[in-house]
Amino acid sequence: METLPQLDAIEIRVLGVLMEKEKATPEYYPMTVNSMMNACNQKSSRNPVVSYTESEVQLGIDGLKKKGLVLTVTGGGSRTLKFKHNSSIVFDLDDRQEAILCLLFLRGPLTPGEINSNSGRLYSFGNLESVHNGIESLQQKENPMVVQLPKRPGQKEARYMHLLGGPVNEADWEDMGEPVKISSSHLEERVSALEAELAELKQKLGDLLK
């Protein structure tokens, strides 16, 4: 790949969810749009905490499909479309690198220690040296995928962040404990749009039943 694709926040969250669920809950992978929406909006293991709608998640999927990072899965006797990620092939990632990126996609900047302790069912690093080696391998790619952030005052370990969202503005991540809130006006607009869609569907259904 000549340059890293630049992903928006929804695309990053969707891709992170697909990478996470492939390893953590393979029995529910590939994923439907609805299951991805629920996983995107989890209150735990996510920073920021978001409230994406199904249509917003679908937009994220569509964007990732155009970049070759998500594929549609058909067959298996189900009429519901399911999706899987293709990032390991597109970016030439091994399991260790994929786990690191997945955590950074879902949680924002992390120290090597935090990556090690939160890797769970994604990958068994074994020790911090393995984490450091994985980070270093991502930094040394032809198009570096991870950048080291300056240490905070009193912090022993530096944090690292992925570069799939473009240059990292550290100020965006200063309040790590404070979830980024979605504006109420934006949510009201989405609710109104969904209510209009629902009313239209009810009208069409009523016409069909007549």
* Chain segment 29-67, per-residue pLDDT in tens: 999 999 999 999 999 999 999 999 999 999 999 999 999
Q: Residue 193 carries which side chain, given as an amino acid letter?
A: A
DSSP single-letter state for residue 110? B
- Residue 3: predicted pLDDT: 86
- Residue 2 located in a structural domain: no
- Residue 74: predicted pLDDT: 80
How far, in Å, CA of 129 to CA of 127, rounded? 5
Predicted confidence band of residue 196 (pLDDT cuts 50, 70, 90): low
Phi, psi of 112 (to 5 degrees): -55, -40
CATH of the domain at 18: 1.10.10.10
- Residue 50 located in a structural domain: yes
- Residue 80: predicted pLDDT: 83
Residues 189 and 208 in one domain: yes
How far, in Å, CA of 80 to CA of 59, rounded? 17
Residues 36 and 93 in one domain: yes
Residues 6+ apart with CB under 8 A from 158: 111, 148, 149, 150, 151
What is the number of structural domains in the chain?
2
- Start-to-end Cα distance in the chain: 55
- Residue 168: predicted pLDDT: 81
Closest C-alpha to 7, from 80, 90, 128, 131: 90
Residues 135 and 185 in one domain: no
Residues 72 and 98 in one domain: yes
Residues 99 and 190 in one domain: no
Instruction: Return the number of other C-beta atoms located less than 10 Å from residue 43's C-beta.
Output: 7
* Chain segment 78-116, per-residue pLDDT in tens: 678 999 999 999 999 999 999 999 999 999 999 999 999
* Chain segment 143-188, per-residue pLDDT in tens: 999 999 988 788 788 999 999 998 887 666 665 443 333 444 445 5
The residue segments making up the domain with residue 66 are 9-176
Residues 162 and 194 in one domain: no
Predicted confidence band of residue 127 (pLDDT cuts 50, 70, 90): very high
E strands in 63-201: 70-73, 82-85, 146-148, 160-162
- Residue 204: predicted pLDDT: 67
| 26 or 156, greater pLDDT | 26
| 126 or 153, greater pLDDT | 126
Residues 148 and 210 in one domain: no
Residues 133 and 185 in one domain: no
Residues 135 and 61 in one domain: yes
Structural contact between residues 5 and 164, judged by C-beta atoms closer than 8 angstroms: yes
How far is residue 35 CA from its own chain's centroid? 13
- Residue 78: predicted pLDDT: 62
- Residue 3 located in a structural domain: no
Residues 164 and 111 in one domain: yes
